[in-house]
Amino acid sequence: MEEIGRTLRETRERLGLTLEEAERSIRIRASRLEVLERGEFDSLPSEAQARGFLHNYAEFLSIEPEELLRRYDEIRQPKRRRSLVARDTSKTADKTRNARRIRMPRWVSTDIFVVAIIALGVIVVLIWGGQKLFANIGSGENAAAVAIAGDEISLPATTNTPAPTISAFSEATQLITEEPTATSTLILNVLDTVNLQVIAERESWVQVLVDGEEAFKGRMRAGERFDYLGEERVEVFTGNGGGIRVIFNGQDQGLMGDVGQLITRVWTPRGGQTPTPTQTLTPTASPEMTETATPTPNIPGA
């Protein structure tokens, strides 16, 4: 490298040029040109920059650039080879160092194996316990369903016949009054409340009583739906039984009756009931009898 630098310096001096003049001509700092003339190419930022500076400076001094670059490469070749060998050796040493660093002690691997076995056992126990728990829950639900089914109450349909009372007077008139008597028509589970949904499929006049208090009275349009919740009973009266549908505690009770039929139905926690009329005969006062004058017979000599 010193020989290449000496060639550059001697040629410049023979031409009578200064470093500053060369700097103005080839746009390379005088300090860098001085480094080239001393043969200190390794102090330049990179090998490519050193080759570029050398080519431009040699061409400025009318020296064959390719010849200088060939000599430069011949000198650099052993250094490059040594650098590559040193780099490979460093990489191999780093890999060996990392491998030694990653290798764990034998006792660590043994503990990991033991922990894995324990974790596997815990998972198996949890799965077995979960299956037993689900099985117990399923059996409990079945028993509850059987108990609920056993609580279903079938209410017999009974109708109380009216007991007429007739006055002792033959000329008395009879007045008939109606008293509703409960008649069971559905078999439902015994519940605590009455949840009733009244749906109008046709325009109908409806009256609803919840626990004895009037909740609605008026005309329902087709498609309207009202929900009612009672503790003891919900009574529904309509003038169009075929236009009103009732859903009791989630169970469709169907239409209340026929189209244009006047009907009243009652729902309690025990189910739906349809009142039936009871005739009661009430005596009325018979006409009062008036006294008539009885002729007195004429008795001779009276």
Q: What is the pLDDT of residues 2-47, one digit of tens each?
A: 888 898 899 999 999 899 998 999 999 988 999 888 888 888 888 8
Token representation of residue 219 = 């005309």
- SS3 category, 142: helix
pLDDT digit string (tens) for 88-97?
Answer: 556 665 665 6
The average confidence (pLDDT) of the chain is 74
pLDDT digit string (tens) for 210-258?
Answer: 999 999 999 999 999 999 999 889 999 999 999 999 999 999 999 999 9
Give the CA radius of gyration of the chain: 60
Superfamily of domain 2-91: lambda repressor-like DNA-binding domains (1.10.260.40)
| Model pLDDT, residue 114 | 80
The count of other CB atoms within 10 Å of the CB of residue 186 is 15
Q: How far apart are CA 4 and CA 72, in angstroms?
A: 8
The count of other CB atoms within 10 Å of the CB of residue 51 is 18
> In this model, does residue 152 exceed pLDDT 60?
no
pLDDT band at 160 (very low <50, low <70, confident <90, very high): low
- Is the CB of residue 154 less than 8 Å from the CB of residue 270? no
Domain boundaries, given as residue ranges, for the chain: 2-91, 174-283
> In this model, does residue 51 exceed pLDDT 50?
yes
pLDDT band at 292 (very low <50, low <70, confident <90, very high): very low
Q: How far apart are CA 22 and CA 8, in angstroms?
A: 12
